[in-house]
């Protein structure tokens, strides 16, 4: 994939990864044939997070059935379904001694349940191998399948996360295969099924959204019960992806975080380099304290 060489603001500079924990985690990922969204999505925080022995595990392969305009993950027709993967993920988390993990996946619209049974098996494997570890699931929309969502919720994750990503107007351009109302309905169903389960969502900024659209989307998420919100800067992965409409300054993120708290979110994590799983444990702790 061709990297875009464009001048970025100085606040987007990060150190190159390469510390001992980063190298250890990378080796473990390769040995266990595991994927991480940290690598696949070109996350700018991979050096910091992996050096802290924190990673977001990506299950169900590394090929997505959707082709979103902002996402670096490969798309196409997946052929991969590894039934042993849940146990490998659970064992790896146990070996690392992690206290908090995020698990996500590509969209698997080719599977009848969208991969929900595989999701549930993975959460349960983590419970067996690392019983004290909290599990946040960053799930796809399962094409609106209520039974698939219930399957994941029944596995008892600690936080249910689904990224809204952008404002409704930009869904057609940015979220191929996604539907804004479907995202909101996911949270409504989660609240009805498991009222005590904290929910979380994320929005990337810089795709061309207007401030009033962004605030309206944030209000919608509060109304469907979302407790934790992340706001981060969109960074163009390649020349084939959507261009950056604009870069938000750090003080703009701070102001939006304040606006989000005023709207009623229990916690808002906002900043140029913030991603959905960045400081996920601290986000959960902060929301719990405020709640």
**So what's the pLDDT on residue 3?**
41
SS3 58: strand
Q: What is the pLDDT of residue 2?
A: 38
Which residue did the predictor score with more confidence, 174 or 253?
253
**Token representation of residue 162:** 């689904």
- Min mean pLDDT across 102-106, 173-177, 208-212 is at 173-177
Q: Looking at the domain assignment, is residue 42 inside a domain?
A: yes
Q: Is 178 left (phi over 0), alpha (psi -120 to 50) or beta?
A: beta
- Whether residue 230 contacts residue 269, with contact meaning beta carbons closer than 8 Å, is answered with yes
Nearest-5° angle of CA 87, CA 92, CA 95?
125
Give the predicted TM-score (pTM) of the model.
0.86
Rounded to an integer, what distance in angstroms lies between the CA atom of residue 172 and that of residue 190? 25
- Any idea what the CATH number is for the domain that residue 203 is in? 3.20.20.70
Confidence of residue 143 (pLDDT cuts 50, 70, 90): very high
Answer yes or no: is 113 within a domain.
Answer: yes
Output DSSP code: residue 53. Answer: T
Reported in sequence order, the residue ranges of 18-162 that DSSP labels E, i.e. its strands, are 35-36, 56-59, 100-105, 134-138, 159-161
Domain count, the chain: 1
Q: Which of 280, 276, 208, 215 is nearest to 244 (CA)?
A: 208
Domain assignment of residue 169, yes or no: yes
Query: Which pair of tokens denotes residue 100?
Result: 């908090």
- Judge whether 5 lies within some domain: no
Is residue 24, in this structure, part of any structural domain at all?
A: yes
Give me the sheet containing 228-233, strands edge to edge.
35-36, 56-59, 100-105, 134-138, 159-161, 199-205, 228-233, 267-270
In a domain, 106, yes or no: yes
Bridge partner list, 135: 101
Q: Report how far residue 140's alpha carbon sits from residue 138's, in angstroms, rounded to the nearest whole number.
A: 7
Range of the domain at 147: 10-290
* Mean pLDDT taken over the chain: 85
Residue 76 lies in a domain: yes
Q: What is the per-residue burial (b if ≥16 Cβ within 10 Å, else e) of 58-76?
A: bbbbbbbbbebbbbbbebe
Q: Determine the straight-line distance between the first and last CA of the chain, rounded to whole angstroms.
A: 43
Higher pLDDT, 61 or 90: 90
252 found inside a domain:
yes
Report in angstroms the alpha-carbon separations of 287 from 47, 51, 241, 267, 270. 25, 25, 34, 5, 14
Q: Is the pLDDT of residue 63 over 90?
A: no
């Amino acid at each position: 994939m061709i990297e875009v060489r464009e001048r970025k603001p100085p606040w987007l500079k990060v150190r190159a990864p390469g510390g001992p924990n980063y190298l250890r985690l990378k080796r473990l990922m390769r040995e266990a044939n595991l994927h991480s969204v940290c690598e696949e999505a070109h996350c700018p925080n991979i050096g910091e997070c992996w050096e802290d022995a924190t990673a977001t595990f990506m299950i169900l392969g590394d090929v997505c059935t959707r082709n979103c305009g902002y996402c670096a993950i490969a798309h196409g027709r997946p052929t991969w379904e590894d039934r042993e993967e849940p146990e490998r993920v659970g064992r790896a988390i146990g070996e690392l001694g992690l206290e908090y993990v995020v698990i996500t996946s590509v969209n698997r619209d080719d599977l009848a349940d969208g991969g929900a049974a595989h999701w549930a098996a993975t959460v349960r494997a983590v419970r067996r191998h690392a019983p004290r570890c909290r599990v946040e699931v960053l799930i796809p929309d399962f094409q609106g399948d209520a039974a698939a969502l219930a399957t994941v919720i029944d596995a008892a994750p600690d936080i249910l996360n689904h990224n809204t990503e952008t404002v409704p107007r930009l869904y057609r351009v940015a979220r191929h295969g996604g539907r804004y109302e479907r995202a909101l309905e996911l949270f409504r169903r989660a609240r009805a099924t498991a009222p005590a389960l904290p929910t979380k969502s994320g929005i990337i900024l810089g795709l061309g959204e207007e401030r009033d659209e962004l605030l309206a989307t944030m209000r919608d998420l509060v109304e469907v019960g979302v407790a934790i919100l992340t706001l981060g800067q969109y960074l163009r992965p390649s020349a084939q992806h959507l261009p950056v409409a604009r870069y938000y300054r750090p003080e703009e993120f701070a102001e939006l975080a304040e606006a989000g708290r005023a709207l009623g979110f229990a916690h808002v994590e906002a900043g140029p380099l913030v991603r959905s799983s960045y400081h996920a444990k601290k986000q959960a702790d902060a929301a719990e304290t405020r709640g």
